Amino acid sequence: MMRSIRRTILPAQHQFHDRALPVSLETKEKCQMGYSSPRSSSSPNPQRLFSFVFFVAAGLRRMGLGKFGIFISKSSCRKPWQQQSYWQRSLHFFLFFLLGFLLGLAPFFDLESNSSVLPNTNHGMSSPRRELGSVSRPDGAVSRLNEIPPVNIVVPKLLLIVTPTYNRPLQSYYLHRLGQTLSLVPPPLLWIVVETGYASDETADVLRRTRVMYRHLVCKKNSTEMKDRGVHQRNTALEHIERHRLDGIVYFADDDNIYALQLFLELRGIRRFGTWPVAMLAQSKSRATLEGSVCNGSLVIGWNTNEKSKNLRRFHVDMSGFAFNSSIIWDPKRWHLLAPSSVRQLDTVKEGFQETTFIEQIVEDESQMEGLPHGCSKIMNWHLHLDAKRLVYPRFWKVSSNLEVVVSLTKGI
């Protein structure tokens, strides 16, 4: 015998007289919190949301699901779980779960396209569509964004500091001193240290402790004379720069020189070739000389030199008294250079002429040079000859055994 289902005519059915209202939703609300109008919901658009609910509920009743007792009457609000069987409760739970799932997907559907099915509840009010992934901005926000001036980020040039070194008593002192100076220079900076024959563990340990970005290279070419060792080591660094096309300012910084921090800051202003005067201690250690450029502003107009034997040189510059753009090595056409071979230092010239023969491969005359600093009026590095050639130093610069006592302590002290 089939059970009859009572239907209560609600005010909402006067508006949607062609739709059936599910009684279970109304009876559940009346039993717990009393009747409340769908228009009093706090959702952004309650009329469209409840219209969608009524449409889904009416469709379920049209499918014939009412005869299974899914929608209950008012009299069943006391103990509904006692009047339903197991399969009815399961089906009841499943359908309301499906209804909640559809309600969750409701904002993603375009309900306006179904205007022929759903009633128009906006009463002439337009409902703007919002696409997924779009960002809504106020009208004033766009104008404020256009008013923000563009920020020009200037990336400083990379400094390529080339240092040839070799084993000698004061090598550790020189490398530590130069490394501490380079650690104060703002990045980016790459310290290229070149040794002859093999990379010693002592030098590698010093480079790691300086906390400066470095590359430890080895010059495979044997040098019999002291003056040729630095030439081949610098050429090894130039080959490394050309092979990897490192873009920056190349500077030959010997480890036994003394440098001011301002020098490395001035290097980043070089466009092609820069030079400056260098203070030098004479071989006799009795007097100091000044060698380098004489400038009128940034224009080089002459040279300082105190060595009569060096008057035959074209450019009177010390090896640590100039720097140049690295693209001259791996892109000479950019600077209109027609060099038949790579730019390298020559070991076939006399001692003291390596600097001028190398510079002649880079620039034609003083008009292509830049004097540093303004007016070349400040000494920024010093070339001192303080090597002790006959001293013996221990391995790793560490003493493995106790030293002999020269002066013994007396008992009275």
**Is residue 195 annotated as a catalytic residue, yes or no?**
no
Rg of the chain over all Cα atoms, to the nearest angstrom: 44
Distances (CA, A) of 77 to 3, 30, 38, 60, 65: 17, 9, 20, 21, 20
- Rounded CA separation 271/248 (Å): 10
What's the order of all strands across the beta sheet hosting 278-281?
258-259, 381-383, 278-281, 288-296, 299-304
Q: Which residues are annotated as a binding site for Mn(2+)?
A: 256
Q: Which residues are annotated as a binding site?
A: 256
Least Cα distance to 353 among 388, 312, 381 occurs for 312
Which is catalytic among the residues 291, 355, 366, 370? 355
Active site residues: 355
